[in-house]
């Protein structure tokens, strides 16, 4: 997936993955995915030099590409395998979509900003991702026609876990989402669906995300 890139970019990419390992990412599957996906393709061209720093960067529309460590942490927590059907809310640049798609069987991703969704689609096609589908809309309502999902990853912070997303989680499936005020920090939360009405909730860590705007998120 990385194609031909200059030596310095490749070294920075390797150093970023080493840092993720040092910061506690254990899953080799996730570390390999972080090594496969070229983050420099997903950041605005004038910020390409910063693509392998462990930080969020602006991508337009007041939104950001997520910090690599947080993408790795959420992907690891989601427990995805090659058979997984994954729903992602907040496509943004498409970077985390590409990371998820490099592990999962199928990824469905929803973005509310049309311009971001279109740019993400172009980048996913440029990097050869063929198992991700993007839709423009309100991700707080999920994607009922494609449910159930083995994993749901929400890349924006809402006031609570949307009921629509709980309902679209497969039994045994896992949802990862930052919960808390738009001003942050928020609590990265894991929900495992143990039975039809049985959800096990756990707090994972403190994070800082842009707000989840929608019918079952924050008001605009
Ligand atoms: N993980 C992405 C990446 O790697 O580039 C970055 C995601 S960014 C932190 C959060 C995204 O969620 C923004 O692009 C924002 O427009 C989107 N968003 C916020 N509320 C949403 C909603 N209800 N439905 C879909 N997307 C939403």
* Nearest atom in ligand 1 to 139's CA: 24
What gap in Å lies between CA 184 and CA 208, rounded to an integer?
A: 5
Ligand 1 centroid to residue 153 C-alpha, Å: 11
pLDDT score of 5 more than 80: no
pLDDT in tens, 96-144: 999 999 999 999 999 999 999 999 999 999 999 999 999 999 999 999 9
pLDDT at 150 over 70: yes
- In a mutational test of the pocket of ligand 1, which residue from 156, 185, 215 has the highest number of ligand atoms less than 8 Å from its CB? 156
* Average pLDDT rounded to a whole number, residues 180-195: 93
Task: Report the candidate in 86, 73, 74 with the shortest Cα–Cα distance to residue 169.
Answer: 86
Q: Ligand 1 centroid to 93 CA: how many Å?
A: 9
Residue 118 confidence (pLDDT): 98
The answer to whether 138 and 158 have CB atoms below 8 angstroms apart is no
Mean pLDDT within 158-163: 98
Residues forming beta bridges with residue 178, ordered by sequence position: 188
Burial of 28 (0-12, 13-18, 19+ CB in 10 A): exposed
| 150, 83 contact by CB (below 8 A) | yes
Q: Whose CA is nearest to atom 14 of ligand 1?
A: 92
User: Under a CB-based contact definition with an 8 Å cutoff, are residues 189 and 176 in contact?
Assistant: yes
Q: For residue 176, what are the contacts with CB-CB under 8 A and spacing of at least 6? A: 74, 77, 78, 151, 152, 153, 154, 188, 189, 190, 191, 204
Tell the residue nearest (CA) to atom 7 of ligand 1. 92
pLDDT band at 4 (very low <50, low <70, confident <90, very high): low
Residue 91 has pLDDT above 80, yes or no: yes
pTM: 0.96
Tokens of 1: 């997936």
pLDDT above 80 for 2: no
217 CA: nearest ligand 1 atom:
23
Q: Average pLDDT, stretch 2-12?
A: 81
Strand 63-65 to strand 149-154: parallel, antiparallel, or no bridges (unpaired)?
unpaired
Ligand 1 pocket list (CB less than 6 A): 63-66, 71, 89-90, 92-93, 95-96, 110-113, 116, 138-140, 155-156, 209-210, 212-214, 217
**Range 168-194 average pLDDT:** 95
Q: Which domains does the chain have, with CATH numbers?
A: 7-207 (3.40.50.150)
Q: What is the mean pLDDT of the chain?
A: 96
User: How far is ligand 1, taken at its centre, from the CA of residue 25, in Å?
Assistant: 23
Residue 61 to residue 10: CA distance in whole angstroms: 29
Length of the chain, please?
220
Question: Atom of ligand 1 at shortest distance to CA of 92?
Answer: 14
Q: Which of 1-5, 66-70, 162-166, 205-209 has the weakest average pLDDT?
A: 1-5
Distance CA 107, CA 216 (A): 22
- 143 φ/ψ angles, rounded to the nearest 5 degrees: -140, 75
List the catalytic residues.
66
Give the pLDDT mean for 164-175: 98
Q: Residues 25-64: pLDDT tens digits?
A: 999 999 999 999 999 999 999 999 999 999 999 999 999 9
pLDDT at res. 183? 78
**Which residue(s) pair with 110 in the sheet?**
89, 135
Q: Would the pLDDT of 193 be above 60?
A: yes
Q: Cα(7) to centroid of ligand 1, in Å?
A: 32
């Amino acid at each position: 997936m990385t194609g031909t890139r200059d030596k310095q970019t490749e070294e920075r990419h390797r150093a970023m993955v080493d840092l993720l390992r040092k910061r506690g990412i254990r899953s080799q599957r996730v570390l390999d995915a972080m090594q496969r996906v070229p983050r420099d393709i997903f950041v605005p061209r004038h910020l390409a030099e910063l693509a392998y720093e462990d930080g969020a960067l602006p991508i337009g529309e007041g939104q950001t590409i997520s910090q690599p460590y947080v993408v790795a942490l959420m992907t690891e927590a989601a427990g995805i395998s090659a058979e997984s059907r994954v729903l992602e809310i907040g496509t943004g640049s498409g970077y985390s979509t590409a990371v998820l798609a490099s592990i999962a069987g199928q990824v469905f991703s929803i973005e509310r900003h049309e311009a971001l969704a279109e740019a993400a689609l172009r980048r996913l096609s440029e990097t050869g991702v063929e198992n991700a589908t993007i839709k423009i809309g309100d991700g707080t309502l999920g994607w009922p026609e494609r449910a159930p999902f083995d994993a749901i990853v929400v890349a924006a912070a809402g006031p609570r876990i949307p009921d629509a997303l709980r309902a679209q989680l497969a039994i045994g499936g896992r949802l990862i989402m930052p919960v808390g005020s738009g001003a942050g920090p928020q609590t990265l939360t894991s929900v495992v669906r143990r039975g039809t009405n049985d959800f096990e909730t756990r707090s994972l860590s403190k994070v800082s995300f842009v707000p989840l705007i929608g019918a079952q998120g924050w008001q605009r």
